[in-house]
Structure 1
Amino acid sequence: MAENFEDYIKNLDEFAKSALVETFNIGASHAATALSQMTGKEVNISVPNLRIMAIKNVPEVVGEDVKVAVYIELGKDFSSHAFFIADYDDALKMFDIMIGNPPGTTKEMDEMVKSSFMEMGNILISAFANALSEFLGITIEQSPPNLAIDFLPAILDVALADIGKYCDYTIILETKITISGVEFEEHFLLFPKPEDMKKILEKLMGGLA
């Protein structure tokens, strides 16, 4: 039975949320540095906002069209599925910019594009997971990355098949990525198990009864 965090979430003030946003921005900065070194391009990544919301409402925020997603299972002291999700066309444009082509040159997701995007997503998710582990003072281990290309509901089924029976809420990070001056707005999603969502909420609220 999924635990209801609605009252906890409603009580989170902007100051509490800003602490978590700042934590993920530290991770974003580390990811940007790693991607800059990997590609030789100027990369900036920021998290302007986050939401903690019911999973059923995710498509309204992220969109239901075709996405490219990198997903990693997190474990040890924090169990969750983590997704970096980009619009299909944006993923192609990011690849073009990173290899020096004009955006729009690449028209389809071949193996080289998939490999490049999966590495990018792996770097981003790992940086966010490391920042979260420091914030919570715990150890978070990561599985190898996987890639999915599909409509958003089908992609999310991967997580929901495993944790949907006892998890109703997700953390959505609005993720702004700028590569060589071209800006993209994508999303990072975290699906913690209830006891691990509670760890985050307890940290933000200074301890829950």
Structure 2
Amino acid sequence: MKNEISEWYKDIFREASNIAISHALTALSQMIGGPIDMEPPEIEIIPRVEFLKQLAKQGVSRGMVVMFDITEGLSGLTILQFPRNSALALSAVLMGMDPSQMTELDEMGKSAIMEVGNILISVYTDILATLIGESVSLSPPKPAESLYDIEKELNRPELRDIENVLLFKTKFGQKDIGFESYFYLVPTQESFQKLVTRLEAQVKQEG
């Protein structure tokens, strides 16, 4: 699989995404209050260097970033990132405040966002489970305060040689307020190959 995903793969991702998103919308609507619109994630495969640039561009210390180990189904690291503007607007909505008045993300705001994060994490793990045909489980979240925290995780022996990272970019919103999140799957080489093999098998079945 190259850096660009073929239309075959995109169709499989969309199908898996639609199933998972339909389960999440009810929970998000109850939490945020009122109907929520959510687009299926945009999927990209990016090289390791571009992955770190993307994280830095969206701001690690200025937004909200949490890391999870993959404990079942695949192996590696996953990272959920809310850029600063989305994090501020989302925390304001969750706490019943005017988004224009929210200028800093405090611990209460982070806790509120993490409740939404847990729902999104369930979406992404459901997508991955559908793609590989197995359950996927993640560890409890580990906060990342800086890019250095993430680079430390990437120095683990099983992740030092990773070449490819999957990026799921998700947009959701309510009325005229929009949010976006970035979910990065940093698989070991073995897990990446497993994912590619399962996708190729699904493509053959579709054909």
Q: TM-score band (shorter)?
A: 0.7 to 0.9
CA distance in 2, matches of 1:64, 1:98: 22
Q: Secondary structure at the match of 1:173?
A: strand
**Amino acid corresponding to residue 154 of structure 2 in structure 1:** L
Contact 1:53–1:171, Cα closer than 8 Å, also in 2: yes
Deviation at 1:12, TM superposition (A): 4.8
| 1:132 equivalent in alignment to 2:125 | no
1:74, 1:140 within 8 Å by CA — same for their partners in 2?
yes
* 1:1-209 aligned within 5 A: 8-9=1-2, 12-62=5-55, 63=57, 65=59, 66-150=62-146, 153-162=147-156, 163-206=158-201
Q: Gaps (5+ residues) in structure 1?
A: 1-7
Change over 3 Å in CA distance of 1:191–1:174 after alignment to 2: same
Percent identity (aligned): 27
Quick check: 1:176–1:183 contact (8 Å CA) kept in 2?
yes
Q: Distance in 2 between matches of 1:96 and 1:201?
A: 40
Task: Indicate conservation of the 8 Å contact 2:4/2:44, yes or no.
Answer: no
Question: How big is the alpha-carbon RMSD for the aligned residues of Structure 1 and Structure 2?
Answer: 2.5
Question: Structure 2 stretches of 5 or more lacking a match?
Answer: 203-207
- Closer/same/farther in 2, CA of residues 101 and 64 from structure 1, 3 Å limit: closer
Q: How far is the alpha carbon of 1:29 from its aligned partner?
A: 3.2
Q: CA deviation at 1:112?
A: 0.9
**Stretch of structure 1 that moved more, 80-89 or 10-19:** 10-19
Relative to structure 1, is the Cα distance of residues 26 and 84 closer, same or farther in structure 2, using a 3 angstrom cutoff?
farther
Question: TM-score, normalized by length of structure 2?
Answer: 0.83
Higher strand share: 1
Q: In structure 2, what is the Cα distance between the partners aligned to 1:111 and 1:187?
A: 20
Per-residue CA distance 1:94-145 (angstroms, 9 max, x = gap): 1112233221222222221111112211221122102321331112222112
